[in-house]
Amino acid sequence: MTNENLNVINLPDVPQEEFEKHPKRFLNKKLIAKTLFMLPLLIGVIVMVFFVDTWIAVAAGSLWLLLLILVLFLAYKEYFVRGYVLREKDITYRYGWLFHHEITVPFNRIQHTEVNDGPIDRAFNLCELQIYTAGGSASDLSISGLDPMVAAKLKDFISGKATRHA
Amino acid sequence: MPDLSVPNRQSPKSILVYLFKNIKGLIALGFYVLIGSRAFSNSWIVLVVAVLVGFSVFISPILKYYFFKFYVVDDELIIEQGVLNKERKAIPLERIQSVNINQNVAQRLLNVVAVDIETAGSKAKELEIPALERSFAQSFKDLLQEKATQVIDSNDALKNENFADQEDSSTQQPAIDVQDKRPLLQLSMVDLLKVGLTQNHLRSGGLALGIVFGFWYKIKDVVEYFYEEQLDLDYESVVAGATISLVVFVIISFCIIAVLVSMILVINKFWDYSIYKKGNYLEVNMGLLNRREVKIPINKIQILEFHSNPLRKMLGYQTARIYQAQSENNELNNITVPACTSDKMAQLQQIIFGKIPEVDQQPMHSIAWSHARLNLYIVSIFTVLPAAVFVYFEQYWLVAIPALVLLWTTYNAYKSGEHTRILKASELLTLHKGWLFPSIIITPVFKLQASEACRSIFLKRRAQSHFKFHTAGGSRGARYFNTSEVHRLKNDTNNQVIASDRYWM
């Protein structure tokens, strides 16, 4: 067995400047998806207009609008912090504006990968890369909003690296 | 040695084990019927139900026994079971984490044991063979373990030695055999009482209360049904007559019941506790009603934790928890080592990690004020309102209560923040957390699955972050450090994982 002492201080850091951004259409997709998600609530509000006092309906309506603006604002802000760095031996992903996370998964700890896409994703020509580790759902990475070409390449690259270690 | 290549059945006594289980279920059912409806008017329905129940209680064990088979084919353990729904589970031998032996009361009466096979990460976690002859179970267990190690040894990924073995393989083999005879830890009755006394009584009391409240109406029904004449209680007058003395009485009885429940739970769980190191395994035996024999491969241990509380600190011991790689939805895959004195703690670390974390490196300290601030924000929400109510009704002295609660919890949070730190010795990552209820979390760096830095938008301005790591045994983390330090630690650990090619699960 060889196990040389490495001076970890000399090993490279995660480069903070080189985070790969998601395509711009991911932002559009997110905004539209969020709006669609809020629509059922709006229907509820409209129904209220017919059945209850106007002022309650108005209050509910403005509450809905406020919520929508908040959700869209968060989605907008979030888009600009989202990004990934692919390095020779690991992948780092960061996401979240209100609650920011930056998580690094080395390839030799990856169990398997998969590419998913939903109907809205397909409409925008996007897909999601799911990376599974043995650490349970908490350490699984799901990189959403990737170009299918990029996602396929990433998947090949990562699973190639992962099998070498397995 | 059992021949595993042909399908094996359990001991025929398993029919009785299944029968016991069914009868237990029947008693519960009967209880509910008794409570639920006092009169089954239609005797025809009763007859049908009785036949159905009788059939399932007495016939199904025989069918279950007949259809339950297990065998090994091509490095896979295969279990077939099920009468109507045929089920065939196959587990690759190298996935087997540990093979444990359990024995509940019925099984003990019949002198059979249940073999419980644990795997990591697979969905087929619940693998139990409920009734095997003791000797057969023992050899079956040994055989499985032996086969599993053979498979792993032939595996390419394992050309390098296991982490924990380093020390052992360098020292001569007989030394281990000498160690075998002596248990690492054994609990006497006094130890059990000590452990019981220092449990979390609030939780035990809550458990007892929950059970009482959950069954209150049922209990009341039954009591009234049988003792209606003798018992002429008027609940309203009792409540109306509630006095300070009654409140005190209730509180005292709650405390006594809580302590008693803790005691009973602890004695039942840890009765005749012993932990041994045998070769590359830790072997734990415990239990009064349900005997458990657990074997943990040392190299599969992911996290070792020590927990304490003020009472335990006074008695000079801590509780250790050992976490293995776990499958999803299975939070309970840990082994508790109660009543660890500090030298036992050191011994445990020595055995599991081959070393004790050195303290030569400067620890990374948490920012205590941030812990206090968060507590202040959260507790304020709950204390400001009562305080305002007291002020409104001009009961100024009562304001002291929420104020004290706020002050005390904030002080607590500050102190626990002060005690929160991360130590990274060359190969081990150690998290110290908490003040009154301190815990120490130790994991080998190369076992990390991923490392994470996170923060909220409010912490961004202060340049603070939390650190989190994920292992196959679960995720742990500590809060409020300087962002730059967190990122350095994250890089360090990550690079170390990349550089390591040891087998980590």
In tens, the pLDDT along A81-94 reads 999 998 888 899 99
B54: its two tokens: 């009788």
**Closest CA–CA distance from residue B490 to any residue of chain A (Å):** 8
CA end-to-end span of chain B: 29
Does the distance separating the beta carbons of B492 and A8 come in below 8 Å?
yes
What confidence category does residue B187 fall into, taking pLDDT thresholds of 50, 70 and 90?
confident
Q: How many CB atoms lie within 10 A of CB B331?
A: 9
Strand partners, B259: none
Which domain covers residue B15, as residue numbers?
Answer: 8-152
Q: Which residues contact residue B161 at a Cβ distance below 8 angstroms, ignoring those fewer than 6 apart?
A: A1, B169
Size of interface A-B (CB pairs under 8 A): 110
Q: What is the CATH number of the domain that holds A142?
A: 2.30.29.30
pLDDT of residue A26: 92
Which residue has tokens 């084919």?
Answer: B73
CB contact under 8 A, A100 and B121: no
Collect all residues with Cβ–Cβ distance below 8 Å to B353 and sequence separation of at least 6: B163, B164, B304, B427, B428, B442, B444
Q: How far is CA B451 from the centre of its chain?
A: 24
- Asked if B17 and B97 sit in the same domain, the reply is yes
Report residue A100 as tokens. 């920011």
Interface mutation target, options B166, B470, B502, B503, chain A, most CBs of A under 10 Å: B470
Residue B413's alpha-carbon distances to B433, B434, B435, in angstroms, are: 11, 8, 8
Report pLDDT for B92.
80
Classify burial at A29, counting beta carbons within 10 Å of its beta carbon; exposed 0-12, middle 13-18, buried 19 or more: buried
- Tally of CB atoms within 10 A around A35: 14
> Same domain for B361 and B431?
yes
Is there a contact between B501 and A14 if contact means CB atoms under 8 Å apart? Answer: no
Single-letter code of the amino acid located at A25: R
Give ipTM to 2 decimals: 0.85
DSSP, res B419: T
Same domain, B482 and B457: yes
Residue among A89, A105, A136 minimizing CB distance to B474: A136
**A61 and A104 housed in the same domain:** no
| pLDDT attached to residue B121 | 56
**pLDDT over 90 for what percent of chain B?**
17
Q: Is B173 a residue whose pLDDT tops 80?
A: no
**How do residues A103-160 score in pLDDT, each as one tens digit?**
999 988 888 889 998 888 899 999 999 998 887 777 788 998 899 999 999 999 988 8
Top-confidence residue, A138 or B414: B414
Among the listed ranges A69-73, A89-93, B87-91, B116-120, which one has the minimum average pLDDT value?
A: B116-120
Task: Verify that A155 and A96 share a domain, yes or no.
Answer: yes
Q: Residue B177 has what pLDDT?
A: 44
CA-closest candidate to residue B132, choices B10, B254, B24: B10
Chain B residues with beta carbon closer than 8 angstroms to that of A108? 497-498, 500-501
pLDDT for the residue numbered B160: 43
- A2 within some domain: no
Residue A5: inside a domain, yes or no? no
- In this structure, the answer to whether residues B351 and B394 fall within a common structural domain is no
**Per residue, what are the HEC states of B136-198?**
HHHHHHHHHHHHHHHHHHHCHHHCCCCCCHHHHHHCCCHHHHHHHHCCCEECCHHHHHHHHHC
Which range among A134-138, B69-73, B292-296, B456-460 shows the weakest confidence by mean pLDDT? A134-138
Q: For B80, which DSSP code? A: E
Q: What is the DSSP string of chain A?
A: -------GGGSPPPPSS-PBPPPHHHHHHHHHHHHHHHHHHHHHHHHHHHHS-HHHHHHHHHHHHHHHHHHHHHHHHHHHH-EEEE-SSEEEEEE-SSEEEEEEEEGGGEEEEEEE--HHHHHTT-EEEEEEETT-GGG-EEEEEE-HHHHHHHHHHHHHHHHHH-
Class of residue B170 by CB neighbours under 10 A (exposed 0-12, middle 13-18, buried 19+): exposed
Residue of A nearest to B500 (CA): A3
Q: Tell me if B162 is assigned to some domain.
A: no
- Asked if B472 and A134 come within 8 Å (Cβ–Cβ), the reply is yes
Measure A98 CA to nearest chain B CA, in Å. Answer: 5
Q: Is A62 found in the same domain as A102?
A: no
Q: Is B214 part of any domain?
A: yes
- Do residue A139 and residue B449 have CB atoms under 8 angstroms apart? yes
A8 found inside a domain: no
Q: Which amino acid is at A11?
A: L
For residues B147 and B57, membership in a common domain is answered with yes
Q: Are residues B226 and B109 in the same domain?
A: no
**Rounded Cα gap, residues B452 and A138, in angstroms:** 10
Instruction: Identify whether A143 is part of a domain.
Output: yes
Range of the domain at A59: 24-79
Q: How many domains does chain B have?
A: 4
Measured CA to CA, the distance from residue A3 to residue B82 in angstroms comes to: 49
What's the CA gap between B153 and B481, in Å, rounded?
42
Assess if residue A93 is contained within a domain. Answer: yes
The three-state secondary structure class of B363 is coil
Where does a domain end: B243, B270, B297? B270
Given A38, A62, A79, the domain boundary residue is A79
Using the structure block, give the residue that is written with the tokens 């920011």.
A100
Give the nearest partner residue to B454 out of A12, A101, A104, using CB atoms.
A101
Residues A88 and A150 in one domain: yes
Per-residue confidence (pLDDT) for residue B409, from 0 to 100: 94
**Residue at which a domain ends, from A49, A79, A109:** A79
Q: In this complex, which of B157, B487, B498 lies closest to A89 when CB atoms are compared?
A: B498
Average pLDDT value for chain B: 80
Of residues B95, B137, B188, the one with CA closest to residue B1? B137
Compare all CA atoms of chain A with the CA of B493 and give the residue at the minimum distance: A8
Question: B151 falls in which pLDDT band (50, 70, 90)?
Answer: low
pLDDT value at position B334? 74
The whole-number average pLDDT for the span B178-196 is 78
CA distance B487 to chain A (A): 8
What's the pLDDT at B157? 43
> Which chain A residue lies closest to B490 (C-alpha atoms)?
A104
- B454 in the same domain as B344: yes
Give a yes or no: residue A55 inside a domain: yes
Domain membership flag for residue B174: no
Rounded Cα gap, residues B33 and B45, in angstroms: 13
Contacts of B221 (CB under 8 A, 6+ apart): B35
What is d(CA B444, CA B334) in angstroms, rounded to the nearest whole number? Answer: 17
Q: Which of B423, B162, B490 is nearest to A3 (CA)?
A: B162
Domain boundary among the residues B240, B270, B300 is at B270
Decide if A136 and B470 are in contact by the 8 Å CB cutoff: yes
- A101 falls within a domain: yes
pLDDT at B231: 54
Q: Which residue of A has its CA nearest to B457?
A: A98
Q: How many residues does chain B have?
A: 505
Q: How far apart are the C-alpha atoms of B434 and A47, rounded to whole Å?
A: 51
- Mean pLDDT for B472-494 is 90
Q: Same domain for B350 and B403?
A: no
Which of A70-84, A149-163, B81-95, B428-442 bottoms out in mean pLDDT, i.e. has the lowest?
Answer: B81-95
pLDDT reported for residue B238: 59
Judged by CB atoms closer than 8 Å, whether chains meet at A108 and B497 is answered as: yes
| B456 or A12, which is more confident | B456
Residues 121-140 on B with a CB inside 8 Å of A are 121
Closest residue of chain A to B470, computed from CA coordinates: A135
Q: Which of B408, B368, B35, B493 is nearest to B225 (CA)?
A: B35
The CA distance from B279 to the nearest CA of chain A, in Å, is 20
β-pairing verdict for B334-340 and B464-471? unpaired
The answer to whether residue B192 is domain-embedded is no
What is the predicted pLDDT for the residue at B166?
Answer: 42
Percent of chain B at pLDDT exceeding 70: 81
Nearest chain A residue to B330, by CA: A136
Chain A contacts to B (CB-CB under 8 A): 1, 3, 5-6, 8-9, 11-14, 89-90, 96-109, 111, 133-139, 141, 165-166
A24-72 pLDDT, tens per residue?
999 999 999 999 999 998 898 888 888 887 788 888 889 999 999 999 9
A98 and A156 housed in the same domain: yes
Q: Is residue A9 part of a domain?
A: no
B289 & B408 share domain: no
Q: In the numeric block, which tokens belong to residue B160?
A: 């390098």
pLDDT value of residue B233: 56
Distance between CA atoms of B485 and B19, rounded to whole angstroms?
60
Under the phi-then-psi rule, with left for phi > 0, alpha for psi from -120 to 50, and beta for the rest, what region is B74? Answer: left
- Residue B496 — very low, low, confident or very high, per pLDDT cuts 50/70/90? confident
Question: How many domains are there within chain A?
Answer: 2
Q: Given this model, what pLDDT does residue A93 score?
A: 93
CATH, residue B97? 2.30.29.30
Instruction: Determine the pLDDT at residue B153.
Output: 62
Query: Among B135-144, B338-347, B366-375, where is mean pLDDT lowest?
Result: B135-144
- How far is it between the farthest Cα atoms of chain B? 83
* Helix (H) or strand (E) run with residue B428 in it: strand B428-433
A72 and A104 in a single domain? The answer is no
Give B-chain residues touching A136 at CB under 8 angstroms.
Answer: 326, 328, 470, 472, 474-475
Cα–Cα distances in angstroms (integers) from residue B275 to residues A93, B138, B367, in the given order: 42, 18, 39
Same domain, B54 and B73: yes
Q: Is B2 helix (H, G, I), strand (E, B) or coil?
A: coil
User: Which of B270, B293, B315 is the last residue before a domain boundary?
Assistant: B270
